[in-house]
Amino acid sequence: MKNVHFDTSSVHASGHNSVKSVSKINPIYQTSAFSFTDLDDLEDYFRGKNDYLYTRMNNPNQNDFANGVAQLEQAPAGVVTSSGMSAILVGILSVAQNGDHIVACDDLYGGTYQLLSDDLKSFGIETTFVSFKNIGEIEENIRPNTKLIYSESVTNPLLRVEDLDALVLLAKKHNLTTMIDNTFATPYVLQPFTKGIDLVVHSATKYLNGHSDVTAGVVVGREDLIAKAQAKMIHLGCNLGPFDAWLASRGLKTLSVRMERHIANATELARQLKDTAGIKTVYYPEFVSETGNSSIVTIELDEQSDVHTFFKSLDWVHIVPTLAGVETTVSYPLGTSHRSLPAEACEKLGINKNVIRISVGIENVDDICSVFKKAAEKALKV
């Protein structure tokens, strides 16, 4: 820049793209907005000729991650958001509005349960929670104003595997939209869109990113619904930052190898804990898909065991109110993920003071099994 003062020059001296080679990895577009050369160039954005205007609306890193997840789920489109909860919200609002009704499974993640039971009431959207173990019970609760059937492919925390084929048939019979949270299974294990599910949502904070350093969400599915979800994301301001989107895209690259190890370790841990004294029940799916079952193992200690002693005896395994990092961690559903559920709902589902959810990491499986067996032994001696 010529003929300007130093303080003006310092503002404009850097930031110009002078790189002529193509980066092997998509760069981080850490910008809140994009520049235009003139008003015609600006107008071209609104004509659909330019891709980017403002990062709250879209950004190359956001689109890279959304398109990556959509590809893995074999869905035509996707949109990323600031968290799994905001992804669930914009997905639901792409289908339901004031005066509409949702039928949801009663064994949901606690945050989703609260969103549906409490927060969406202010939008005039009502939800009925029923057991999805019986397809007839779902159908009995469908109303003339029902718009959506909502569930999880593998439920949190007791790992019930949803019958997606039955849900799709029921939804088609009543002209309803279906939405599935596929966080626990991931597209490595299940791809619900290929079975006819309309919207598939993930807390990308979990396995898609996989390294416990991002909070993000993504919803993929039918193009018409994703366009509506994108609009809700923009208007509600729940966009994902470029750097977090870049990190999540990086996580996708190792999803397959991580899930392979997670699942192999979880399968062996579940097998060994079934014969461990002090453990009353081991929750682990028998068959989710040919790729594998679950990377989560949930256990219920015996009544004689002391849950506090169990947690204190886990050595290098930490208590963490989330899941899906490469490290093995544990959470306490009654005190964290399902704390917002009414006590009677937890009791009905079997989520009690002795239920513990294990997010099985990628460490050596013998070390993982050893630490949990020793903790169960110590808890039983109290």
Each of the 382 residues of the chain gets a pLDDT tens digit; together they read 678 885 766 566 556 565 566 888 889 999 999 999 999 999 999 999 989 999 999 999 999 999 999 999 999 999 999 999 999 999 999 999 999 999 999 999 999 999 999 999 999 999 999 999 999 999 999 999 999 999 999 999 999 999 999 999 999 999 999 999 999 999 999 999 999 999 999 999 999 999 999 999 999 999 999 999 999 999 999 999 999 999 999 999 999 999 999 999 999 999 999 999 999 999 999 999 999 999 999 999 999 999 999 999 999 999 999 999 999 999 999 888 888 788 888 888 889 999 999 999 999 999 999 999 999 999 997 6
Among 252, 287, 307, the domain boundary falls at 252
Q: Same structural domain for residues 61 and 193?
A: yes
Of 284, 324, 360, 71, the residue nearest 183 (C-alpha): 324
β-pair partners for 167: none
Residue 30 inside a domain? The answer is: no
In the numeric block, which tokens belong to residue 248? 């999540």
Q: Mutual orientation of helices 223-236 and 84-93 as an angle, nearest 10°?
A: 120
pLDDT value of residue 142 = 98
Residue 232 inside a domain? The answer is: yes
Number of domains in the chain: 2
Q: Same structural domain for residues 158 and 223?
A: yes
Are β-strands 199-203 and 177-181 bridged in parallel, bridged antiparallel, or unpaired?
A: parallel
Q: Same structural domain for residues 335 and 224?
A: no
Q: Same structural domain for residues 201 and 58?
A: yes
Among 203, 233, 252, the domain boundary falls at 252
Q: Count how many Cα atoms sit within 13 Å of the Cα of residue 45 in the half-sphere of its side chain.
A: 15
Q: Same structural domain for residues 211 and 280?
A: no
Distance separating alpha carbons of residues 157 and 235, to the nearest angstrom: 32
Q: Same structural domain for residues 279 and 245?
A: no
Residue 3 inside a domain? The answer is: no
In the numeric block, which tokens belong to residue 242? 């470029």
pLDDT value of residue 62 = 96
Residue 4 inside a domain? The answer is: no
Distance separating alpha carbons of residues 185 and 259, to the nearest angstrom: 9
Q: Same structural domain for residues 286 and 219?
A: no
pLDDT value of residue 69 = 95
pLDDT value of residue 13 = 59
Distance separating alpha carbons of residues 209 and 356, to the nearest angstrom: 23
**CATH number of domain containing 104:** 3.40.640.10
Q: Same structural domain for residues 194 and 337?
A: no
pLDDT value of residue 129 = 97
Residue 230 inside a domain? The answer is: yes
Distance separating alpha carbons of residues 88 and 36, to the nearest angstrom: 34
Q: Same structural domain for residues 228 and 95?
A: yes
Q: Same structural domain for residues 45 and 81?
A: yes
Are β-strands 296-301 and 318-319 bridged in parallel, bridged antiparallel, or unpaired?
A: unpaired
Enclosing domain of residue 363:
255-381
Residue 46 inside a domain? The answer is: yes
Q: State how far the alpha carbon of 192 is from the alpha carbons of 20, 148, 161, 358, in Å.
A: 41, 16, 12, 24
pTM over 0.85: yes
Among 209, 225, 252, the domain boundary falls at 252
pLDDT value of residue 338 = 87
Distance separating alpha carbons of residues 363 and 366, to the nearest angstrom: 9
Residue 7 inside a domain? The answer is: no
Of 212, 205, 155, 211, the residue nearest 185 (C-alpha): 155
Q: Same structural domain for residues 145 and 273?
A: no
Provide φ and ψ at 321, rounded to 5°: -80, 40
**CATH number of domain containing 366:** 3.90.1150.10
Residue 1 inside a domain? The answer is: no
Q: Same structural domain for residues 230 and 292?
A: no
